[in-house]
Amino acid sequence: MTFIPEVIKLMSPLKVATTLLSEEKNPTPMIAPIQAKLQRHFQPDESDLLVISQMKERFRQDFDGRYAYLQDLLYYASALDPRFKDLAFLDDNEAKDLIFMKLTAEVVQMNGQEGGSDTEMQNEDQAVDTLDDEDYAATASDTLDEAVDTLDEEDLAVDTHGVRSLHEEEQYSEEDCHDYQMFGDFLTARATVKTTRERAKEEILKYRERDSLCLGGDVLQWWKKQVDLPLLSALAKSYLSIPATSVPSERVFSTAGDIVTAQRSLLHPDHVDQLIFLKKNLRVEHLA
């Protein structure tokens, strides 16, 4: 019969996905790419048997509602993973830009500073919250372009203290500078201080321009080396620390059940914690 081989072919990607997401070292950023891969795998095909077509339909129905309330979090986590930061599993480039725009807002919020005016931040939040399917792409593109244009203008604009813009900076001859050296003790050199929002935008742009990490690379070590992205690194760690599934925590309970037996019921709680930690982390080489 061709039925059994077709079912095996249909279910094989699910087995691989389940195994990957159950590993302790595979965090949440892997969910969105795997989810997109499975959704494409379960798309209907004219050559499918009737029962296979029905199974695919059931899987699609389950997927549609399973991650709906977590979709933004999953996208943010994948965007902050240098292996998936290009978000290749999304076909809409405007949607990718919108995700990074929201990450910029999260960086500002996490650092407890308003990188822009109240009106600017409220407008961005309202723009994202009220997007529908029809104007999602157009609004995302326009908002991101305005944000980048604003960043460029702010970097080069005259501030309220009368500092000249880079466009209007006058060039002085060496003779002129020499004449004014007598006022050196009374002159103040002041650099423009960038807001958290401006710094976050710059870090996002740098991050997106960098090469992606290979799939087998160490994500946390990669972020540890990005010393010029301090704001984004802190946000990335908060997402990369989330396990993809509850399997690792359930394994801890199983380990605890193996340790705290009836014969060990008088163990002190601190000792139980230490034994569980050693069981999960201690690596002992077997001697021949």
User: Is residue 288 a part of any domain in this protein?
Assistant: no
Q: Are 234 and 104 within one domain?
A: yes
Residue of 8 and 145 predicted with greater confidence? 8
Continuous segment of H or E residues that includes residue 154: helix 136-156
Residue of 13 and 63 predicted with greater confidence? 13
Rounded mean pLDDT of 253-267?
A: 64
Q: Are 76 and 95 within one domain?
A: yes
What is the count of structural domains for the chain? 2
Residue 102's pLDDT is 93
The SS3 of residue 143 is helix
Q: Are 120 and 137 within one domain?
A: yes
Give percent of the chain with pLDDT exceeding 90: 20
Q: Are 104 and 206 within one domain?
A: yes
Rounded mean pLDDT of 236-257?
A: 69
| 121 burial type by CB count under 10 A (0-12 exposed, 13-18 middle, 19+ buried) | middle
Range of weakest confidence among 50-59, 98-107, 239-248: 239-248
Q: Is the pLDDT of residue 67 over 90?
A: no
Closest CA to 208 of 229, 239, 224: 229
Continuous segment of H or E residues that includes residue 259: helix 247-259
Q: For residues 228-239, b (16+ Cβ closer than 10 Å) or e, as one string?
A: ebebbbebbeeb
Q: Are 8 and 75 within one domain?
A: yes
What's the mean pLDDT when you consider all of the chain? 74
User: Is residue 132 a part of any domain in this protein?
Assistant: yes
Rounded mean pLDDT of 195-224?
A: 91
Q: Are 22 and 101 within one domain?
A: yes
User: Is residue 89 a part of any domain in this protein?
Assistant: yes
In whole angstroms, give the CA distance from residue 64 to residue 53: 17
User: Is residue 277 a part of any domain in this protein?
Assistant: yes
Q: Are 28 and 44 within one domain?
A: yes
Instruction: Indicate the pTM of the whole model.
Output: 0.61
Dump pLDDT digits (tens) for 210-225.
999 998 888 889 999 9
Q: Are 271 and 218 within one domain?
A: no
Q: Contact at 8 Å (CB) between 190 and 163?
A: yes
Which of the four pLDDT bands, split at 50, 70 and 90, describes residue 206?
very high
Q: Are 48 and 93 within one domain?
A: yes
Q: Are 19 and 126 within one domain?
A: yes
Q: Contact at 8 Å (CB) between 235 and 107?
A: yes
Dump pLDDT digits (tens) for 154-176.
443 334 344 344 344 445 555 55
The residue behind tokens 């991650």 is: 67
Rounded mean pLDDT of 221-233?
A: 92
Rounded mean pLDDT of 37-53?
A: 89
Rounded mean pLDDT of 201-217?
A: 91
Residue 229's pLDDT is 93
Q: Which domain holds residue 11?
A: 3-158+168-240
Q: Are 231 and 260 within one domain?
A: no
User: Is residue 286 a part of any domain in this protein?
Assistant: no
User: Is residue 287 a part of any domain in this protein?
Assistant: no
Q: Are 44 and 185 within one domain?
A: yes
User: Is residue 120 a part of any domain in this protein?
Assistant: yes
User: Is residue 129 a part of any domain in this protein?
Assistant: yes
Which of the four pLDDT bands, split at 50, 70 and 90, describes residue 113?
low
